[in-house]
Chains A and B, each alone.
Chain A
Amino acid sequence: MASTEVVVIGGGVIGTAVAYHLSRRGRRVVLCERAGLGTGTSGACDGGVLPLTKQPGRHLQLALQSAELYAGLSDELGYDIEFDRHGCMVVAENEAHLDLLADLTERQRRAGLAVQLLDAAGARELQPHLARQVAGAAFSPGDGQVNPVRLCRGFAAAARRYGAELRLGQAVTGIEVAAGRVRGVYTSGGGIAADLVINCAGVWAPAVAAMAGLSVPIEPVRGQLLVTERVPPLVRGEVLSALYIAAKWRPELITGVARRLRLGLSVSQGRAGNLFIGGCREQVGFDTATTAAALGAIADRARTLLPVLAGLRVIRSFAGLRPTTPDGLPLVGFVPAVEGLCIAAGHGGDGNALAPVTGLLVADLIDGKATPALSAALSPARFAA
């Protein structure tokens, strides 16, 4: 039977980030991914790295730390992850939205985010295609976007250079536990003995945890996006409606179909020129279908905020499953019940934003160097009954 020091389960942005940081510190790592790199949630999102959408506190602090790590990451990995720091704007469509943004940005500024509150004219100066009737906007110039699939590939390639082994197309089918300690995993390609196993399986993390007899409070939430034809630059960075913020934290402010779908508009343009327009938050299990109702509702919101979009052709749609937790923070840390078993999952829609800092944190936890307060805040033990 093969043996290693650490087995990382999952080849998305979190698993590859963890494998990179551990192998960089000299740990012997085997990463098991049942399909290909970034083919789950990481390959079904728009790649936002957006501190502006985070609540002040632990969440924003982690996002800011991650944004700093992103700045030099392409150079560090020797691979272009297509990270562009071109800002994020949250647009208030009415005065109630503007009040919500004024309160949020004031608290974010105190927490260290360089965010400006703009009036309607100021917002349209930065985004000339915005509708005339917007009330104002918040703008954070340091927010950015990454190509999540390239991020996975970059982390994985660098991990491999540090000696990590990537087992793609190999599903973990069981976890061996003896006398309260993890001993290794079983995979479709044979067993691997290891004293450390890290569950980075995102929405599938509960299924992995169940192999060790544990339950994990992570639920899939479906986000649908539509993709337009390639066009010359129309938007700068990511543009969100304040509806997105409301859908995330204040669903009571929304009514009708927007409430049902927890609709929160986001618009961004990839390097190739295609626009990605989302999104919604639906609890429909593991169903990744897209629906005419949600896509139509998203399209309707999109043309209200950015009328120029009405005349673009939609060529594709897709849906991704966001691994959400009861308190909105990820689970990162050792599980209380089984020694040597660690989890790094449940990042919701913030996987890209938090991947670099998560990889670093897991490496610190294993080396016994993590800050106690942070470890406690993210520990899976906070949900242990």
Chain B
Amino acid sequence: MAAPDLVVCRCEEVTLAAIEAALAAGVRDAKELKLATRAGLGICQGRICRRLTETLLKAPPPSPGYLIAGYRLPVRPVLLAELADAAEEAADATDR
């Protein structure tokens, strides 16, 4: 049996007890879990804890078309300046 003070999300220091409390309070999917506990909202964006939180959630998505959790840019932390440079280069290439 896992200890309740086990840290599930290291970046935001969210414990198993906090996640179980959120689930008991009616949280049913990854988005609600993030909003309620911040699990998965840290610097790694759930790359470490995602499997664990999804396992703890167990339940299927509440309604069709409602995703458990999507993936969005960026796939890893990127400097704001690099993001801006990449877009500028892409815009230049289009204009040429």
* Chain A residues close to B by CB (< 8 Å): 34-39, 43, 149, 168-169, 171, 188, 226, 228-230, 257, 272, 277, 289-293, 295-297, 299-300, 302-303, 309-318
Contacts and interface: CB of A to CB of B under 8 A. Distances in A.
Nearest to A39: B31
A112 to B, nearest CB: 35
Given A35-B29, A315-B77, A299 B84 contact: yes
A169 B63 contact: yes
A43 B66 CA distance: 14
A313 B45 contact: no
Interface of B: 26-29, 31-32, 35, 38, 41-43, 45, 62-63, 66, 72-74, 77-81, 83-88, 90-91
Contacts, number: 113
Given A169-B62, A292-B87, A39 B35 contact: yes
B29 to A, nearest CB: 7
Contacts of A149: 35
Contacts of B28: 36, 168-169
Report, nearest first, the 6 A-B pairs whose CB atoms are least far apart. A296-B87, A300-B84, A299-B84, A310-B81, A313-B77, A36-B32
Contact of A296 (B45, B79, B84): B84
Contacts of A312: 79-80
Contacts of A293: 87, 90-91
A229 B32 CA distance: 21
Contacts of A289: 72
A164 B88 CA distance: 52
A316 B45 contact: yes
A221 B73 CA distance: 20
A188 B64 CA distance: 12
Nearest to A37: B32
A300 B81 CA distance: 7
A299 B32 contact: no
B43 to A, nearest CB: 6
B83 to A, nearest CB: 4
Given A43-B31, A43-B35, A290-B72, A300 B79 contact: no
Given A36-B28, A169-B28, A188-B63, A296 B38 contact: no
Given A291-B73, A302-B80, A317-B72, 14 more contacts: A35-B29, A36-B28, A36-B31, A36-B35, A37-B32, A168-B28, A169-B62, A290-B72, A296-B84, A296-B86, A300-B87, A313-B77, A316-B72, A318-B72
